[in-house]
C-alpha cells in the first residue's frame, strides 16, 4: 500500500513535467526561414515546398514538420501558457488527494493514542470544517458501550470526503487533527519562511486553480473579462510552495506520531 507521501509525490510529478515542457517550448516566434531552418531541412530530408516550424531557445531545439498539422498559432506563447495553468491545477489536485490520504492513514492511530485528549483544545477552523458532522443515536450508543477510535476516524474521514478539504484551512485542519499545534507556524518555521507570506502564496495558488477550472482563468469578479496573465516564475513558485508545504506537513506528522507513541509507552509500559 502506497504511503500518503508517495501518493502525493506521484500526483504532483505531472505538474513538474508540465513546467519542464513549458520551458522546452518557450519561445517568442517560431522560425520558418533562415539559415537554421535551411540546415534542419537538410538533416530532416524535407522537400523545399514542405513548411517547417523551428523552436529554438537556450535549452531546446525542435523541428515541427508539416505533417504534424500544428500551426504557429497553436504554439505561440499565449497558448503555451495553458501548460502553466494546468500545472497549477495538477498541484492543487495533488494537495487535495494527499490530505484525505494522510488522515485515512494516521487519524485512527492518533485518536487511539490521544484518547479523550484527541481534541482537548478548541479550534475554530476544525469546528467550522466539521460543523455539519452528526452522529446518529445508534452511533453514540455504540461508542458508549465500545469506544472505537477507528469508527470515529472513519466517520470524520467520510465527512471530509464530501466537505472539500483544501487550501490553508485544509493544511491547518489536517495538521491539528494529527496532533500538531499551530500547523502553519511550525511549517513556516521549518521552511524558514514568513507564516503570512507562506499562507498567502498557498491560498493564492488554490484560488487561481478555481479561476482556471471554473472560469477559464478569469477572475471571479470579472468572469466575462480576459484571462489573467500567468508566467513561469509565478507558477514555479506556486507549485514549489504546494510541494514544500505538503512534504513539510508529512515530516511534522511523522515526528508527532513518534512522540505520541513514546508518551503512550511511558504512560503504560505493558502496552508495548
The DSSP code sequence of 128-188 is HHTTT----HHHHHHHHHS--HHHHHHHHHHHHHHH---HHHHHHHHHHHTT-SSHHHHHH
What SS3 class is residue 68? Answer: helix
Q: For each of the chain's 272 residues, which pLDDT tens digit applies?
A: 789 999 999 999 999 999 999 999 988 888 888 899 889 888 989 888 889 999 988 899 999 998 889 888 888 888 999 999 999 999 999 999 999 899 889 988 888 888 777 776 777 887 777 777 777 767 666 666 666 666 777 777 777 765 677 889 999 999 998 999 999 999 999 999 999 999 999 999 999 999 999 999 999 888 889 999 999 999 999 999 999 999 999 999 999 999 989 987 777 766 54
Quick one: pLDDT at residue 270? 61
Closest residue by Cα to residue 166 from 205, 131, 197: 205
User: What's the alpha-carbon Rg for the chain, to the nearest Å?
Assistant: 25
User: Could you give the angle at the alpha carbon of 12 between the alpha carbons of 191 and 96, nearest 5°?
Assistant: 85
Give strand ranges (E) for the chain. 52-56, 61-65
Quick one: pLDDT at residue 11? 97
Quick one: pLDDT at residue 76? 87
Amino acid at each position: 500500500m502506497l504511503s500518503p507521501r508517495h501518493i502525493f509525490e506521484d500526483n504532483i510529478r505531472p505538474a513538474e513535467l508540465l513546467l519542464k515542457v513549458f520551458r522546452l517550448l518557450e519561445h517568442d516566434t517560431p522560425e520558418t526561414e533562415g539559415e537554421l531552418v535551411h540546415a534542419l531541412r537538410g538533416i530532416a530530408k524535407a522537400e523545399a515546398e514542405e513548411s517547417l516550424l523551428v523552436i529554438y531557445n537556450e535549452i531546446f531545439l525542435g523541428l515541427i514538420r508539416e505533417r504534424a498539422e500544428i500551426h504557429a498559432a497553436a504554439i505561440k506563447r499565449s497558448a503555451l501558457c495553458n501548460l502553466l495553468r494546468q500545472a497549477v491545477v495538477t498541484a492543487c489536485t495533488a494537495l487535495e488527494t494527499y490530505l484525505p490520504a494522510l488522515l485515512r492513514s494516521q487519524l485512527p492511530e492518533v485518536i487511539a493514542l490521544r484518547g479523550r485528549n484527541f481534541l482537548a483544545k478548541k479550534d475554530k477552523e476544525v469546528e467550522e470544517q466539521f460543523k455539519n458532522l452528526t452522529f446518529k443515536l445508534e452511533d453514540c450508543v455504540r461508542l458508549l458501550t465500545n469506544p472505537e477510535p477507528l469508527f470515529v476516524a472513519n466517520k470524520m474521514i467520510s465527512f471530509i470526503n464530501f466537505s472539500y478539504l483544501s487550501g490553508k484551512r485544509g493544511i491547518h485542519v489536517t495538521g491539528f487533527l494529527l496532533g500538531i499545534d499551530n500547523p502553519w507556524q511550525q511549517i513556516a518555521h521549518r521552511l524558514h519562511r514568513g507564516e503570512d507570506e507562506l499562507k498567502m502564496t498557498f491560498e493564492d495558488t488554490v484560488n487561481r486553480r478555481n479561476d482556471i477550472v471554473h472560469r477559464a482563468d478569469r477572475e471571479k469578479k470579472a468572469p466575462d473579462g480576459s484571462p489573467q496573465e500567468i508566467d513561469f516564475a509565478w507558477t514555479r513558485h506556486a507549485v514549489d510552495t504546494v510541494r514544500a508545504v505538503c512534504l513539510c506537513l508529512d515530516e511534522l506528522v511523522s515526528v508527532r506520531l513518534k512522540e505520541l507513541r513514546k508518551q503512550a509507552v511511558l504512560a503504560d509500559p505493558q502496552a508495548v
